[in-house]
C-alpha cells in the first residue's frame, strides 16, 4: 500500500515540476514513506534518518516523513529527529508541493496530519516507480473501520472510503494499453468496497473485479486484502467465473483460537474461518491461499497457540506472513490489555509457526511438480541472465530458461523442481 501511495506522491510532485531520481546524491528533496504497523518498522525509519542526516550536512536538502508514522507521531517526530522538515499524513499528499515551498522559502517546518473522510486521490494517475512494465498496484479504497484491537491502521489512515469506480477502470485500461498485464486492487478490506455514482448505481467489490476483468482476458486481476468476516460467496463465485481473476486469496487468519480472535476484535470464530476456507477450496479448483499470523497476542496460552498451528494444517496455507505481536500505542490492546506473553515465548511460538509454514509451502510446491501453468513473464531472473521469472495465476514465482521471450508475454511452463519459495520449470511449446 505504501508502494502505491509513493506512486501517487510521485505523480503529485511531477505534476508540480519535480522529477524523480534513483540517485540520493542528486536529490534536493527526500520523502520517506513510513509504516507504523509494528515497532520495528518505525525503528528502521530512525536508522534511515541518521543516514539522511549525513547527506543533509553536505548540501541543502528538504527531508519529509510521510505516511502512517507521520500521522501517528505528528510534531513529536520533529523533536525526535530534527533532520525532518516536513510531516505529512496519508491524506495530506496534495499539500506536499506547498509544504516544500514553506520549508524552502519561509524556512519553516511544515506539518499536515488532518485525516479526511473523502480523499481517495481518485483522479491522480500514479507514476510507476521502479516498474517492470508488467505488474502494477491500483489503490481502490483507503482507511479502515474494523478496529482490530492490536492494529494502528484505523488511527493512522482514518475512516474507510472507496474510490470512484470510473477512475479505477480508467486507470486499469490505461495500464493495459501501456503493456501492463497484471493489476492488484488494493485496500485494507477490499470486500467493503462500495461506490455509488450520481445515478444511484452501486458497484460492490465483486462487481468491480468483474469490470476490471472484462477489460481484456489478457489482463490478470489480483486483490489484497479481504477480511474473513466479509468474504462473501458472491466474491468466491466471481473469482471462480473469470479465468483472468487470479486463483489466489490472501485471507489473514491472525490466530486459530476463537478466544484470541475475540480479544483481537476480528469478529469471526475459528469455525467460521474454517468454513470460509472450505467454501473457497470447494468452489475454486486449484486455488492457493495465503495468510497473516500474529504470535503471542495478549493472553495467548499454549493451547491457543496449538490451535493456530492446527488451523494452519487444516487450511494448508500455500504462503504466510508471520509476525510477533508488537504493542502499538493508542490501540485498544495497548490501552486495555496486558502484553503478557514473554518475548522469548513469542519468539519460540513464531519460530514454530514459521517452521510449520515452511513445511506447508514446500508441500504445496511439491504438488505442482509435473503440472503445467500459464506464466506471465515479469523479467530476467537475478540468478542468471539466461533465465526468466514470472508468476502463475496462483501467485507462485516460477523460474525457467527462456530465450527470445519478453516481459508481459504469457508462456506455458511445466514445473520440474521446487524449493519452499520457488518453482523451477521449462517452457512447453
Ligand atoms: N487489513 C489487513 C491487514 C493489514 S496489516 C487485514 O486485516 O487483513 C498487515 C498485517 O500486519 C496484519 O494482518 C497483522 O497480521 C499484522 N499486524 C498488524 N498489527 C500488528 C501488531 N500490532 N503486531 C504484530 N503484527 C501486526
Ligand atoms: Fe488493521 Fe484489522 Fe483494519 Fe486489517 S482489518 S487494517 S488488521 S484494523
- Measured in angstroms, how far is the CA atom of residue 42 from the centroid of ligand 1? 15
Cell of 174: 490505461
Ligand 1 binding pocket includes 297 (Cβ within 6 Å): no
Ligand 1 atom, smallest distance to 331 CA: 22
Ligand 1 atom, smallest distance to 293 CA: 15
Cell of 74: 505528528
Of all residues in the chain, the percent with pLDDT exceeding 70 is 100
The residue from 93, 112, 131 where one domain ends is 112
Determine, yes or no, domain membership for 180. Answer: no
Determine, yes or no, domain membership for 56. Answer: yes
Determine, yes or no, domain membership for 417. Answer: yes
- Is the per-residue pLDDT at 90 higher than 90? yes
Query: Are 312 and 318 spatial neighbours (Cβ–Cβ below 8 Å)?
Result: no
Which residue has the CA at smallest separation from atom 8 of ligand 1?
252
* Alpha carbon distance 329, 350 (integer Å): 22
If 0-12 CB within 10 Å is exposed, 13-18 middle and 19+ buried, where does residue 200 land?
A: exposed
- Is the per-residue pLDDT at 208 higher than 90? yes
pTM: 0.96
Q: What is the pLDDT of residue 357?
A: 98
Ligand 1 binding pocket includes 254 (Cβ within 6 Å): yes
* Alpha carbon distance 217, 211 (integer Å): 11
Determine, yes or no, domain membership for 89. Answer: yes
The owner of cell 519460540 is: 348
Determine, yes or no, domain membership for 36. Answer: yes
* Alpha carbon distance 204, 207 (integer Å): 5
Determine, yes or no, domain membership for 389. Answer: yes
Ligand 1 binding pocket includes 149 (Cβ within 6 Å): no
pLDDT tens for 367-402 read 999 999 999 999 999 888 899 999 999 999 999 998
The residue from 63, 80, 112 where one domain ends is 112
What CATH number is given to the structural domain containing 7?
3.40.50.12160
Collapse the DSSP code of 266 into the 3-class scheme (helix H, G, I; strand E, B; otherwise coil) and give the result: coil
- Indicate which ligand has the atom closest to the C-alpha of 41: 1
pLDDT tens for 325-342 read 999 999 999 999 999 999
- Indicate which ligand has the atom closest to the C-alpha of 38: 1
What are phi and psi for residue 50, nearest 5 degrees? -65, -40
Determine, yes or no, domain membership for 351. Answer: no
Query: Are 198 and 236 spatial neighbours (Cβ–Cβ below 8 Å)?
Result: no
Q: Please tell me the total count of domains within the chain.
A: 2
Cα(first)–Cα(last) distance of the chain, in Å?
37
- Measured in angstroms, how far is the CA atom of residue 273 from the centroid of ligand 2? 16
Determine, yes or no, domain membership for 313. Answer: no
Quote the domain boundaries for residue 91: 2-112
CA angle 279, 392, 238 (to 5 degrees): 35
Cell of 214: 472484462
Q: How far is CA 429 from the centre of its chain?
A: 34
Q: What is the pLDDT of residue 403?
A: 78
The residue from 81, 112, 143 where one domain ends is 112
Q: What is the pLDDT of residue 205?
A: 97
Ligand 1 atom, smallest distance to 328 CA: 22
Q: What is the pLDDT of residue 429?
A: 82
Amino acid at each position: 500500500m505504501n508502494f502505491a501511495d509513493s506512486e501517487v506522491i510521485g505523480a503529485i510532485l511531477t505534476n508540480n515540476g519535480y522529477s524523480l531520481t534513483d540517485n540520493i546524491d542528486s536529490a534536493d528533496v527526500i520523502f520517506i514513506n513510513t509504516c507504523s504497523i509494528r515497532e520495528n518498522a518505525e525503528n528502521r525509519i530512525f536508522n534511515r534518518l541518521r543516514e539522511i542526516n549525513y547527506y543533509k550536512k553536505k548540501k541543502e536538502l528538504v527531508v519529509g516523513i510521510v505516511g502512517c508514522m507521520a500521522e501517528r507521531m505528528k510534531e513529536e517526530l520533529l523533536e525526535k529527529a530534527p533532520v525532518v522538515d516536513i510531516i505529512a499524513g496519508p491524506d495530506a499528499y496534495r499539500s506536499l508541493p506547498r509544504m516544500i515551498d514553506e520549508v524552502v522559502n519561509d524556512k519553516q517546518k511544515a506539518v499536515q496530519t488532518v485525516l479526511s473522510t473523502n480523499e481517495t486521490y481518485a483522479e491522480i494517475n500514479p507514476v510507476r516507480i521502479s516498474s517492470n512494465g508488467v505488474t502494477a498496484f491500483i489503490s481502490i479504497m483507503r482507511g479502515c473501520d474494523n478496529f482490530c484491537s492490536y492494529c494502528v491502521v484505523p488511527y493512522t489512515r482514518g475512516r474507510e472510503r472507496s474510490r470512484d469506480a470510473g477512475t479505477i477502470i480508467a486507470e486499469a485500461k490505461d495500464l493495459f494499453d501501456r503493456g501492463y498485464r497484471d493489476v492488484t486492487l488494493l485496500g485494507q478490506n477490499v470486500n467493503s468496497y462500495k461506490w455509488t455514482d450520481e445515478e444511484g448505481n452501486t458497484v460492490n467489490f465483486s462487481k468491480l473485479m468483474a469490470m476490471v476483468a472484462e477489460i481484456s482476458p489478457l489482463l490478470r486481476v489480483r486483490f489484497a486484502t479481504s477480511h474473513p468476516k466479509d468474504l462473501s460467496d458472491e466474491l468466491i463465485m466471481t473469482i471462480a467465473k473469470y479465468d483472468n481473476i487470479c486463483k489466489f486469496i490472501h485471507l489473514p487468519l491472525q490466530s486459530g483460537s476463537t478466544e484470541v480472535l475475540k480479544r483481537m476484535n476480528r469478529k469471526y470464530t475459528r469455525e467460521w474461518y474454517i468454513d470460509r476456507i472450505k467454501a473457497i477450496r470447494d468452489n475454486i479448483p486449484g486455488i492457493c491461499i495465503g495468510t497473516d499470523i500474529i504470535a503471542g497476542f495478549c493472553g495467548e496460552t499454549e493451547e491457543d497457540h496449538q490451535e493456530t498451528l492446527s488451523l494452519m494444517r487444516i487450511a494448508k496455507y500455500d504462503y504466510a506472513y508471520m509476525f510477533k505481536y508488537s504493542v502499538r500505542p493508542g490501540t485498544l490492546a495497548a490501552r486495555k490489555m496486558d502484553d503478557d506473553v514473554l518475548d522469548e515465548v513469542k519468539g519460540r511460538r513464531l519460530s514454530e509457526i514459521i517452521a510449520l509454514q515452511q513445511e506447508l509451502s514446500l508441500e504445496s510446491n511439491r504438488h505442482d511438480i509435473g503440472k503445467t501453468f500459464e506464466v506471465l513473464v515479469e523479467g530476467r531472473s537475478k540468478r542468471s541472465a539466461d533465465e526468466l521469472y514470472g508468476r502463475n495465476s496462483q501467485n507462485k514465482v516460477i523460474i525457467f530458461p527462456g530465450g527470445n521471450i519478453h516481459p508481459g508475454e504469457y508462456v506455458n511452463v511445466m514445473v520440474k523442481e521446487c524449493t519452499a519459495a520457488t518453482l523451477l520449470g521449462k517452457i512447453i511449446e
